[in-house]
Amino acid sequence: MSAPSTTGPDRAPEDLDGLRIGMLAPIAWRTPPVHYGPWELVASMLTERLVRRGIDVTLFATADSITSARLDAVAPHGYTEDPAMDGRVWEALHVAHALEGSSGVDLVHNHLDWLPLAFDAQWRAPLVTTVHGFSAPGILPAYERSRSAFVSISDADRAPGVRYAATIPHGVDVDALPLGLGGEDLVVFGRMHPDKGIVDAIDIARQTGRRLILCGIIQDEAYFRELVMPRIDDDRVVYVGSVTAAERPMVLGGAAALLHPVHFDEPFGLSVAEAMACGTPVVAYARGAMPEVIDPGVTGILVDPRTEDRIVRAARAVDAAVTLDRGRVRARARERFDADRMVDAYLDVYRDVVARNPRQTLRARAS
């Protein structure tokens, strides 16, 4: 890995002048998403900041995506928002379209999970793949056999059989998430799904005596209907649905703390970094990447989820978290998770990939 980039946010490194990137975004949602869509959000943030630095980017995304890059699309809009669209079919069409366009770029940055890896030999430019999370062990053969340069979003999410080029935590637009004044309420910001520990969050909030605001799409309807809905009273527990990007600063910045009692090994937790950017401390179960993302006693409190009294421990952690300095929480979030830091790290990966690529199109165009 080369030395960290010293370029500013408004120009590209001289050795990458002329670099052409194909950014392969998912198409479950628009890029950037209106509300939910963390993978699309990261692909968008990276695209826009690369363009700002003078990098030539072609964004392969839905046709209704909004970007300053060159947009190339086959899917009219996100398949999650249209019951008439079969996601499997449209993802295959999307990948095939990007494959055809890959001859016009120097590298393709894949945010679309395993499917592009299945066509490893057909890509006409080298692949960089951000592993946003493994949906199931069964997809690992696609990763283990691919020549792509893989980037993990946390060390905790690395799989033993996959060769990684770097670990690059997700970045957030700190300037778009101003310091909030906080408040008395607690907030959950994520999918309504057992993985996110929504029921635990409700129990934790009740233990503290604070109101809880639930934000997020309903991903598991049976779980939501049977276990969450009976606890929603629109007074002490309120469900507001999915929150738009414009509403996010108010919701996160106005909370006393974010609850993140995950029941799975969270690969990163974008909402955790976003909350901290607003100055809002986080109380989370110490699973997956949470010990990497949260600085205990600075940006939040970690709770051992394996104990029988985890709800009581988490409630006590809330009492401690709300005393943390919100300005210091935000400052640490900017230091660790600002989007320009993420861009610098990816430029280093691109540099290494281009250097190993025998096409060496950058040098040919520059001469």
Q: How far apart are CA 234 and CA 236, in angstroms?
A: 6
- 3-state secondary structure string across 225-247: HHHHHHHCCCCCEEEEECCCCCC
Strand order in the sheet with 107-110: 70-72, 56-60, 20-24, 107-110, 127-131, 149-152, 164-167
Decide if 14-171+338-366 and 174-336 have a common fold: yes
For domain 174-336, the question of CATH label 3.40.50.2000 is answered with: yes
- For 271, residues 6+ apart whose C-beta sits below 8 A from its C-beta are 189, 190, 252, 258, 260
Beta strand extents in 206-318 (DSSP E only):
212-215, 237-241, 257-260, 282-285, 300-303
For 20, the 3-state DSSP assignment is strand
Query: How do residues 225-251 score in pLDDT, each as one tens digit?
Result: 999 999 999 999 999 999 999 999 999
Q: What is the mean pLDDT of residues 126-153?
A: 94
Q: What is the mean pLDDT of residues 336-353?
A: 97
Q: How many beta carbons lie within 10 A of that of residue 149, not counting itself?
A: 21
Report the pLDDT value the prediction gives residue 357, as an integer from 0 to 100: 80
Query: How do residues 86-123 score in pLDDT, each as one tens digit?
Result: 999 999 999 999 999 999 999 999 999 999 999 999 99
Structure confidence at residue 2 as a pLDDT band (50, 70, 90): very low
Q: How many beta carbons lie within 10 A of that of residue 321, not counting itself?
A: 26
Domain boundaries, the chain: 14-171+338-366, 174-336
- At the fourth CATH level, the homologous superfamily of domain 14-171+338-366 is Glycogen Phosphorylase B; (3.40.50.2000)
- For 17, residues 6+ apart whose C-beta sits below 8 A from its C-beta are 54, 362, 366
Q: How high is the mean pLDDT of the chain?
A: 93
Structure confidence at residue 11 as a pLDDT band (50, 70, 90): low
Q: Residue 358 pLDDT more than 90?
A: no
Tokens of 219: 């991903």
Report the pLDDT value the prediction gives residue 12, as an integer from 0 to 100: 65
User: CA–CA distance from 78 to each of 28, 112, 188, 307, 354 (Å)?
Assistant: 5, 13, 25, 41, 31
Structure confidence at residue 322 as a pLDDT band (50, 70, 90): very high
User: CA–CA distance from 80 to each of 27, 87, 90 (Å)?
Assistant: 8, 7, 11
Read off φ and ψ for residue 147, nearest 5 degrees.
-90, 0
Q: How far apart are CA 264 and CA 262, in angstroms?
A: 6
Q: How far apart are CA 33 and CA 65, in angstroms?
A: 8
Read off φ and ψ for residue 52, nearest 5 degrees.
-60, -30
Q: How far apart are CA 136 and CA 351, in angstroms?
A: 31
Structure confidence at residue 9 as a pLDDT band (50, 70, 90): low
Report the pLDDT value the prediction gives residue 227, as an integer from 0 to 100: 98
Q: How far apart are CA 212 and CA 327, in angstroms?
A: 23
Q: How far apart are CA 170 and CA 342, in angstroms?
A: 7
8 Å CB contact between 151 and 128: yes
Strand partners, 172: 338
